[in-house]
Amino acid sequence: MATSFAVIAIVLYSASAIRQYITIGNPQKVNRQLVLGLGTSAVASHVLHWVFVVSEGQFSFGFFMVGSLIALVVSFLFVLSALKKPLEPLLLGVFPMSAVILIINILAPNQPESLEHSIGSGILSHIILSIVAYSVLIIAAFQAILLMVQDHHLKHKQLDGIMRVLPPLQTMERLLFEMLTVGTVLLSLSILSGFVFIEDFFAQHLVHKTAFTILAWATFSFLLFAHWKFGWRGNQASRWTLAGTSFLILAYFGSKFVLEILLGRP
């Protein structure tokens, strides 16, 4: 059943992204309700996939499994935010990413792990905060890429194509900094909970994650300060956002990729 719901989610993610892609350069074909309806159904199927993953004992903390979980949270937060904010163009990056990760997760070998050992509430809060912070900041990275595309088109006076369905530049920048603010606050709480609840936050097997996470936090924090103090915006803000997100991805997935994918070790 887990695989069946994953396939349904992949189809729905793809259908929503394709429907949104059709509107590029043809704003009269925009159907917000259909696009978000397909996206919501995709997220619901993704949730059911995870319900069966856990109930069927297929869960693991493996590279692709965790990637699938973060993709779910990213998509869920995106759909939730898109109900009130003009974020539909972002799904051209978010939903294909979720679909591809699900496909890889289905095809990749998986070594299920026992969940018999309970996780303390402190560690659980750290994990939840980390996943949500990662997800918000990944959405911010997609927004930064879209902002760079928009800025490039404006500078070259190319006002067709995707420019016809994007909100004004000021709105795009405001949305970016809203995401960065929320994500940085959550990341701060995640780091704080790690210091409090993880016995040795700088242990050898954690030092790589800790160092890159703090580096990402410093990058985002400085960007928010520079935006407030010096008015940083546009491509400069986008580049710093992408740099911070890169550090964050390296913090968790860097070491897991080397150990699990390149070296074949759990």
DSSP string computed for 70-118:
HHHHHHHHHHHHHTTSS-GGGHHHHHHHHHHHHHHHHHS--------SP
Q: Amino acid identity of 61?
A: F
If asked whether residues 96 and 121 sit together in one domain, one would say no
If asked whether residues 101 and 127 sit together in one domain, one would say no
Inter-CA distances, 206 with 45, 138, 191, 202, 247, Å: 33, 22, 12, 6, 15
Q: What is the pLDDT of residues 9-32, one digit of tens each?
A: 999 999 999 999 888 767 666 788
CA distance 191 to 162: 38
With respect to residue 49, please indicate whether it lies within any of the assigned structural domains.
Answer: yes
If asked whether residues 199 and 230 sit together in one domain, one would say yes
If asked whether residues 144 and 212 sit together in one domain, one would say yes
With respect to residue 82, please indicate whether it lies within any of the assigned structural domains.
Answer: no
With respect to residue 137, please indicate whether it lies within any of the assigned structural domains.
Answer: yes
If asked whether residues 43 and 165 sit together in one domain, one would say no
With respect to residue 239, please indicate whether it lies within any of the assigned structural domains.
Answer: yes
pLDDT given at position 74: 97
* Residue 138 belongs to domain spanning: 117-266
pLDDT given at position 157: 81
If asked whether residues 123 and 254 sit together in one domain, one would say yes
Please identify which residue in the block is written with the tokens 């000021």: 170
Domains of the chain: total: 2
**Which helix (H) or strand (E) element contains residue 214?**
helix 207-230
Instruction: Give which of 195, 249, 246 is closest to 66, Cα–Cα.
Output: 249
Domain boundary among 40, 75, 109: 109
If asked whether residues 95 and 122 sit together in one domain, one would say no
If asked whether residues 204 and 122 sit together in one domain, one would say yes
With respect to residue 149, please indicate whether it lies within any of the assigned structural domains.
Answer: yes
If asked whether residues 105 and 123 sit together in one domain, one would say no
If asked whether residues 101 and 162 sit together in one domain, one would say no
pLDDT given at position 195: 87
End-to-end alpha-carbon separation of the chain, Å? 26
If asked whether residues 94 and 129 sit together in one domain, one would say no
CA distance 23 to 225: 36
Q: How many CB atoms lie within 10 A of CB 264?
A: 7
If asked whether residues 173 and 49 sit together in one domain, one would say no
In the chain, which stretches have pLDDT less than 50?
none
Rounded to whole angstroms, the maximal C-alpha distance in the chain is: 59
Inter-CA distances, 186 with 128, 154, 172, Å: 10, 33, 21
CA distance 196 to 225: 26
Do 5 and 147 contact (CB within 8 A), yes or no? no
pTM for this model (two decimals): 0.91
